[in-house]
Amino acid sequence: MTWLFALCAVTVGSALQRVTGLGFTLVSGPLLVLVLNPFDGIVLANILSALIALVVLARTFQHAQWRTAGKLSIGIVVGVPIGAVVVYALDADMLLILVGALTTVAVLIALTRRPMPVFRGTTGAIFAGTLSGFSNVTAGVGGPALAMFGAATKMSMSSFIPTVQVVALLTNILSVAAKPHMSLPIPLVIAAVCCVLVGLVAGSFLQRVITPTRAQTLALALALAGSLAATARGVFALVS
């Protein structure tokens, strides 16, 4: 039953990412963590995120802003190693609480949708990339920092989606490489990959009937529920 919930989240997250450019790990990450554990759950989320980024980028790369992607990637290279150190320094219960807390904060920040000057310019891009890389390798939630960058720079959705896929592909490859001691059940991985493909197809149709803003709101609502559940489980395990 828990696998079923996680796979549904993977499908929905994939569809929402196809519409908005973000949202997959926000929706699926907390549930994958609950099904597996904080370490392997985020690794699987990273692997699936890389697959999604590659598929979406293959269809939209001609609209990517490569110079912007390069600036963001500088921050990614800085943030991922720092996050990896934190992951290996914490035990499973504390890591679960961190995953839930970071996701909750990320959702609340993203819900404001207010442009922040700190994310503007070259320095802002590097700062956003650093935050994204750190939060991606620790909690699988690198998207909100990129969303805040997109809002601050007023990027069009047609450019934002492929640009962040470039960054997401690099981020998730580095995040998986930073955690080589993974132990993933192969049937779940295969089922999750199939759900990703189904979600991406569904997202292509969903684009025609739902606005990116509404899709993003749905993704954030689902993410908040999952992150609160992950935090609660971590706290309960820690005190019991």
Lowest mean pLDDT among 24-28, 31-35, 103-107, 199-203: 103-107
Measure Cα distances from 102 to 138, 175, 219 in Å. Answer: 9, 16, 16
Tell me the pLDDT band of 129, cut-offs 50, 70 and 90: very high
d(CA 126, CA 184) in angstroms, rounded, equals 32
Q: Which of 102, 92, 115 is nearest to 41 (CA)?
A: 92
> How many CB atoms are located within 10 Å of the residue 65 CB?
18
- Using one digit for the tens of pLDDT, what is the confidence trace for 183-208? 888 988 999 999 999 998 998 888 78
User: Residue 1: what pLDDT?
Assistant: 65
User: Residue 80: what pLDDT?
Assistant: 92
pTM of this prediction?
Answer: 0.79
Tell me the pLDDT band of 78, cut-offs 50, 70 and 90: very high
Which element (helix H / strand E) includes 215? helix 212-239
Q: Which residue has the tokens 């192969």?
A: 186
Whether the pLDDT of residue 173 is over 90: the answer is yes
Q: Which of 34, 45, 53 is nearest to 225 (CA)?
A: 34
* Residue 73 CB contacts under 8 Å (≥ 6 apart), including other chains: 129, 166, 167, 170
